Each structure stands twice: as structure tokens, then as C-alpha cells.
Amino acid sequence: MLLVTDIGNTNVVLGIYDDDKLLKTWRLSTHRHNTRDEYSIFIRSLLKDSEITPDQISDACICSVVPSLTPSFIAIFEHDFAVTPVVVRPGIKTGLVILYEPPQDVGADRIVNSLAGYKKFGGPLVIVDFGTATTFDVVSAKGEYLGGLITPGPGVSAEALAIRAARLPSVDIRKPRDVIGRNTIDAIRSGLYHGHIGACDHIIEKIISKFDEKPKIIATGGLADIIKEDSKYITEIYPHLTLEGLRIIYEMNS
């Protein structure tokens, strides 16, 4: 079995593949100060609950945007599972032509998403990932990674409001009851929700205008389902796009 791991700023997402079939996924909170032993206990417990033994893990692949945690996860796979993981780093085979400047600056998760999306749909393609940041990645019909945009995610915006404005509370991100908020919490929630959808749709429109052929628009990430409800362009959600990209990259580099 292949254990794939996406180490993000908010969550660590793990998945188990048997060949090309995704059997199980888990989501842990990202804590930069957790030790290798702590994450090892979490992973072993999750596998045990799913009746998967360590000796069934034959391979592993990692992408990470939290450099301080990457060595811990490499050590976990090597020590606990006797597996040397494939790590998504500059120079790894992806089959994409990276036109970002410099190429090594683009986030590993963005390349993994772009590869998975291109393998599934071809190009031109726009992948929107709703995470700590909302990222837009653009792939040409020829399989060129053209670049994209990075914006603060709704959660980051909500935290910034609560920190910088003394009288504004922290709110959770969900669809408001009405666009016109009748109390402070609903007003903030509506602003975050509709403001983010408006920004996303505007950005996508600007990207579409760069192409003669309308690109396919796909989305992933924790808030994709919420945004989809009122977005003009976000209609197709692929929650495990990053995990699928890690599986593909493992097969290309193992």
C-alpha cells in the first residue's frame, strides 16, 4: 500500500492507496511544534483503527509547505515503516513544464494539484485550492505550468479582522442566512463569504480572458463545497486532488 501525505499550513492530510484505489483518508491539525513521536503516534493510531498494519505500507510520498515538519515525516516513514518516501522537491519528475520564475519557488502542493488536474482533464485548466490561502494555478493545453495567483483564504481574513479590530469577534466560515447581515456576526460572515466568492469569480474571469479556448475550472480544498453554492464558475469539486497527484508523482519517480 502507498501512504501519501500532504503537509499544509492548516491540516496534514493522509491517504492510503491500493494501486490506484484510494482506500482511506485522514485529516490532522498542523502543529509546527509537535514532535516526530507525537505525529508517529497519531499516524499509527489512525492505521490501527482502520486495521492497517505498518508492514502493509510498502511506499510513501510527501508534499509539504511546512519545511520544519518535513524531516519529521521523512523520519517517521523511514523508522516506523522502513520506507524511504518520495518527496516533492525541485527537480522531481512531474511531466509539467514549469514556467514559474524561479521554478523552485512554486509550492509543492500547487504543482501536485496541477499535475493531477492535467492528467485527469488536460488543458487549458484552472485549479482553485481553498486552503489557508486560496490559490489559482493555470496549466496550458501543452502541459505548461503558467503560474497563478495567491490570495488570503476566508479563514485568514476572519482571523485578521478579529485581531486588528477590537470590537469584531472571530466567526466561523459558512454561508450566511442573508447577504444583508442583521447583526455583527452575520455581517462579518456575509462579507467574508460573498466577498471571497466575488473575488474568486472575478479572478477566474480575468484568467479565462487570457485564453482563446475556455479553460476547465476545477476546485479542491476544505472550503470548496461552501464556495460552490453561489460561485458562477466553481461547479466541480475534487476533494482528494492533491492525494491523487501524490500517487501519480510517486509512480513517475519510484
What pLDDT does 206 receive? 98
Strands 21-29 and 11-18: antiparallel
Please tell me the distance from the alpha carbon of residue 73 to that of residue 44, in angstroms, as a whole number. Answer: 13
Please tell me the distance from the alpha carbon of residue 168 to that of residue 150, in angstroms, as a whole number. Answer: 25
pLDDT in tens, 170-211: 898 899 999 999 999 999 999 999 999 999 999 999 999 999
Q: Is 109 a catalytic residue?
A: yes
Q: What domains can you pick out in the chain, each with its CATH number?
A: 2-87 (3.30.420.40), 97-242 (3.30.420.40)
Write down the pTM of the prediction: 0.92
Query: Of the candidates 176, 172, 149, 150, which has an alpha carbon nearest to the alpha carbon of residue 159?
Result: 172
pLDDT in tens, 35-69: 999 999 999 999 999 999 999 999 999 999 999 99
Count of Cβ atoms closer than 10 Å to residue 233 Cβ: 20
pLDDT in tens, 71-103: 999 999 999 999 999 999 988 999 999 999 998
> Of the listed 59, 109, 129, 137, which one is catalytic?
109
What pLDDT does 254 receive? 83
pLDDT in tens, 113-133: 999 999 999 999 999 999 899
Rg of the chain in Å (alpha carbons) = 19
